[in-house]
Amino acid sequence: MEKKELRIGLIGYQFMGKAHSHAYRDIPFFFDVEAKPVLKVVCGRNEEAVQQAAEKMGFESYETDWRKVVERDDIDVIDIVTPNNTHAEIAIAAAKAGKHVITEKPLAMNLDEAQRMHAAVTENHVIHMVCHNYRYVPAVQLAKQLVASGKLGEIYHFRARYLQDFIMSPSFPLTWRLDQKVSGSGALGDIAAHSLDIARFLVGEINEVVATAKTFIKERPIGSMTGGLSAKVSEGKMAPVTVDDATAIIAKFENGALGTFEATRFAGGNRNRNEFEINGEHGSVRWNMENMNQLEVYFAHDEEGLQGFRTIDVTEASHPYVGSYWAAGHMIGYEHTFIHLLYEFLQGIARGEQPKPDFADGLRNQAVLTAIEQSIQQQRWVNVEELLVKS
């Protein structure tokens, strides 16, 4: 029997486009997925570049106008990896066209967009996801199992830091990631968004936040991204940086836990230090993307005198997802987060079941981001629930 095929239309082809394409290619190799992805079309505005990308990444065709992709009959899935200010329009059009849809995070530029996007996918009964890929690190999934099973007891603390340093040089150009109109925010939407999603995934809803933000370098030469997190100066002209370089947040969770978050692109020496710790009544977990295959776990009920954080290599056959790979102790890397998330997306479509994180998560995350932005501007505590009610 032939497997169902899902024909992918990928809108965008840079850092995240590469990550998603690779994942689609790898999924059937490693997993018994019920619907096989077909790399049908990739879309970008620069024809020469998108053509090259199509060839390199193995797409059957390319387009330069995303509307054409959304309209094509031979496309089942729209995968959006373009800058943040384009997510809403594309996703809504895709949903209306009956396509299943996944977007890179953050879902939207603001709460209004997020709500319209959420309405579109639910009204049109398509499967939808937002690509908070760090949920799908096996060690993070194991942390989820520990929390869900009650092994950590009541949760007291969630603390997260996401530290990068790729824009510390004043000569790093002002790209879309530093332009508020395109990206919505800086460290906040780009990386704090990941920590906040993990917090919601592992601990629960955030009720109230207070935050501040800093832009250390106020003006930069105009330029563009060149792949990954690299960029080049495109002209001599300077322009003001309109996003935060760093954001610090204190949060109160619905269940009484206390959350602290910090996200910065000015933490020299930390290339991509995405880390969190949870402390509960009966135990703690610690995780750090730099050693992404390891989860540190403490159990208060271990024998007295022999208590301590265990460093678990989350690479056993019994651990989430990793049984499909190599052998215990054989590490996997960053790209596997996309493999796992997109595997769940494909499975969800094949089975007609909505996987997580979906647009409802994206919307709730957006409300948290909006609350943080208001807190930064107004220098006060902001209630997340009230924002959702008001809007």
Q: Which of residues 190-229 bind a copy of itself (CB under 8 A)?
A: 210-212, 214, 216, 228-229
Helical packing angle, 47-57 and 15-30, nearest 10°: 20
* Residue at 122: amino acid letter: T
- Where does this chain touch a copy of itself (CB under 8 A) — which range of 64-72, 99-107, 297-305, 343-351? 297-305
Closer of 234 and 255 to a copy of itself (Cβ): 255
Considering only 89, 275, 316, 385, the residue that binds a copy of itself (CB under 8 A) is 316
Which candidate, 92, 60, 64, 54, places its Cα nearest to that of 75? 60
Total number of residues binding a copy of itself (CB under 8 A)?
95
Report helix, strand or coil for 227: strand
Dist. CA 54–CA 61, nearest whole Å:
7
Torsion, Cα of 25, 85, 209, 195 (10° steps): 20
Measured in residues, the chain has a length of: 391
Considering only 232, 300, 353, 386, the residue that binds a copy of itself (CB under 8 A) is 300
- C-alpha pair distances (Å), 100 with each of 66, 342, 359: 15, 12, 12
Nearest-approach distance from CB 188 to a copy of itself, in angstroms: 13
Contact between 133 and a copy of itself by CB under 8 A: the answer reads no
Are 44 and 76 in contact by the 8 Å Cβ rule? The answer is no
Dist. CA 88–CA 247, nearest whole Å:
25
Closer of 225 and 360 to a copy of itself (Cβ): 225
Dist. CA 187–CA 98, nearest whole Å:
33
- Where does this chain touch a copy of itself (CB under 8 A) — which range of 65-73, 176-184, 289-297, 357-365? 289-297
Considering only 29, 48, 73, 390, the residue that binds a copy of itself (CB under 8 A) is 29
Pairing assessment for the beta strands 382-383 and 206-214 based on DSSP bridges: antiparallel
Nearest-approach distance from CB 216 to a copy of itself, in angstroms: 5
Nearest-approach distance from CB 166 to a copy of itself, in angstroms: 7
Closer of 97 and 295 to a copy of itself (Cβ): 295
Dist. CA 296–CA 308, nearest whole Å:
9
Whether residue 37 is preceded by a cis peptide bond, meaning omega within 30 degrees of 0, is no
Nearest-approach distance from CB 347 to a copy of itself, in angstroms: 17
Q: Is 306 exposed, middle or buried (0-12, 13-18, 19+ CB in 10 A)?
A: exposed
Nearest-approach distance from CB 309 to a copy of itself, in angstroms: 5
Whether residue 106 is preceded by a cis peptide bond, meaning omega within 30 degrees of 0, is yes
Report helix, strand or coil for 296: strand
Considering only 279, 347, 365, 370, the residue that binds a copy of itself (CB under 8 A) is 279
Show the binding pattern over residues 47-66: x = contacts a copy of itself (CB under 8 A), - = does not. ---------xxx--------
Report helix, strand or coil for 35: strand
Q: Is 354 exposed, middle or buried (0-12, 13-18, 19+ CB in 10 A)?
A: middle
Q: Is 247 exposed, middle or buried (0-12, 13-18, 19+ CB in 10 A)?
A: buried
Contact between 116 and a copy of itself by CB under 8 A: the answer reads no
Considering only 182, 233, 239, 312, the residue that binds a copy of itself (CB under 8 A) is 312
Nearest-approach distance from CB 73 to a copy of itself, in angstroms: 27
- Where does this chain touch a copy of itself (CB under 8 A) — which range of 195-203, 232-240, 307-315, 342-350? 307-315
Nearest-approach distance from CB 121 to a copy of itself, in angstroms: 29
- The interface with a copy of itself within residues 134-153 (CB under 8 A) comprises 142
Considering only 60, 74, 240, 317, the residue that binds a copy of itself (CB under 8 A) is 317
Are 213 and 247 in contact by the 8 Å Cβ rule? The answer is yes
Contact between 332 and a copy of itself by CB under 8 A: the answer reads yes
Closer of 250 and 388 to a copy of itself (Cβ): 250
Dist. CA 366–CA 346, nearest whole Å:
24
- The interface with a copy of itself within residues 240-269 (CB under 8 A) comprises 246, 248-250, 252, 256, 258, 260, 262, 264, 266-269
Show the binding pattern over residues 161-190: x = contacts a copy of itself (CB under 8 A), - = does not. x-xxxx-x----------------------
